[in-house]
Amino acid sequence: MADTMKAAVVEKPGKLVVKQVPVPAIDDNEVLIKVKYTGICGTDWSIFTGKYSADKLPLIPGHEFSGTIAKVGGRARGVKVGDRVTADINMACGVCFYCRQGQKLMCPEFHQLGIHVNGTYAEYVKAPFDQVHVLPDGVSFLAGAYIEPVSCVIHSSKAARVTTGSSVAILGTGLGVLHARLAHLRGAAPVIVIGHNPRKLALAKEFGADITINLNEIKDPVAEVKRLTEGRGADFVIEAVGTPATYEQALAMTRPGGTLAAFGITAGDDTITVKPFDLVLGERTIVGSCAGVGTDWTDALALIAHGHVKPERLFSMIVPLEELEAALNELRTNPALMKVFVSSEISKREMLGT
């Protein structure tokens, strides 16, 4: 194996360079993975523009990935060279208060592959062997690179504890589409998805939404959700946009006794106005969820392997590693694009039909 590999490195905010870098050296507890595909995520844009992880530059981003094991460390068990895999990107110290509580996402040393340490916009990446998940036979490399976002939605769905027969309103048609699927799988009814893009709203229906609210036609989604729920508001509301305005709408459309799941990521210093009165007398619950971790990954694999989540309809195209920066920009300007994957193994774009 060569000592160097091709990688896309964010050297400083706004400067992304594809160049040769050393292949990662692994220790006894790690494996080296030959990367097949990496899905582009909004977090990658935030890293590229310096809004996130600026103190970690230079950095190879990329965290939604699949690949093949190329090398295993001396103490690695349960995986072997040639296995088709993805990996849980969440790493923590393992010994602090939070880690001992099983809440590794809160660990003071919490860090994520491709966000805080080098990731997968490269030919190879290293990962701890015990975070690797082997892809079942029926799960393609593309679907394998989509396990991470599915795991995040599962984590949020578990936190909210959506119950059978309950109404669920979802703001947003990015991962909101997947939230619709998860709500449907949990037996919620009606599942209501709110967004601007007619194509994505149509996809939300395919994924399990019973009703969609097109904001180009309906200006007051809070009033509309209340109208659809006998004036009460939804039992569960999932904010999957990440702006203060949509968070305030989300809380306003949560019925008394209902639950708001905070999923969309705002800027670190964004604030919203909340009337404590609505929480106290309204007994509303707000639950957060940071990422998919641990069993969320095996759950995501099971749902995809058995066809309960069919993510392929959300896949737009694969671009060569050299076109990563162009694709990051296109995702900002072309609202029709859904998931875009990057590969270091191709030299021209492959369209995937959505």
The answer to whether 142 and 288 have CB atoms below 8 angstroms apart is no
Q: State the nearest-atom distance from the C-beta of 92 to Zn ion, in Å.
A: 4
Counting every residue, how long is the chain? 354
State the DSSP string of 325-347. Answer: HHHHHHHHH-TT--EEEEESS-S
Q: State the nearest-atom distance from the C-beta of 90 to Zn ion, in Å.
A: 11
Residue 217 CB: number of other CB atoms within 10 A? Answer: 8
Per-residue CA distances from 319 to 152, 349, 351, 352 (Å): 24, 5, 9, 11
Residue nearer to Zn ion on the CB measure, 150 or 162? 150
Backbone angles phi, psi at 86, to 5 degrees: -130, 180
Residue nearer to Zn ion on the CB measure, 93 or 274? 93
Residue 142 CB: number of other CB atoms within 10 A? Answer: 19
Q: State the nearest-atom distance from the C-beta of 286 to Zn ion, in Å.
A: 23
Tokens 């578990």 locate to 158
Residue nearer to Zn ion on the CB measure, 33 or 70? 33
Tokens 């975070």 locate to 131
Residue nearer to Zn ion on the CB measure, 96 or 185? 96
Q: State the nearest-atom distance from the C-beta of 107 to Zn ion, in Å.
A: 3
Q: Is 227 helix (H, G, I), strand (E, B) or coil?
A: helix
Helix boundaries (H) for the chain = 42-48, 97-100, 141-144, 147-160, 176-185, 198-206, 221-228, 244-252, 276-280, 295-305, 324-333
Q: State the nearest-atom distance from the C-beta of 242 to Zn ion, in Å.
A: 13
Residue nearer to Zn ion on the CB measure, 99 or 117? 99
* Residue 235 φ/ψ region, left for φ over 0, alpha for ψ in the -120 to 50 degree band, beta for the rest: alpha
Q: State the nearest-atom distance from the C-beta of 186 to Zn ion, in Å.
A: 22
Q: State the nearest-atom distance from the C-beta of 40 to Zn ion, in Å.
A: 9
Q: Is 182 helix (H, G, I), strand (E, B) or coil?
A: helix
- CB contact burial 57-86 (16+ within 10 A = b; e otherwise): eebbbbbbbbbebbbbbeebeebeeebbbb
Q: What share of the chain is helix, strand, coil (3-state, %, to 5)?
A: 30, 30, 40
Q: State the nearest-atom distance from the C-beta of 112 to Zn ion, in Å.
A: 9
Q: Which amino acid does the sequence have at 194? A: I
Give the residues lining the site for Zn ion (CB under 5 A): 41, 92-93, 96, 99, 107
Q: State the nearest-atom distance from the C-beta of 108 to Zn ion, in Å.
A: 6
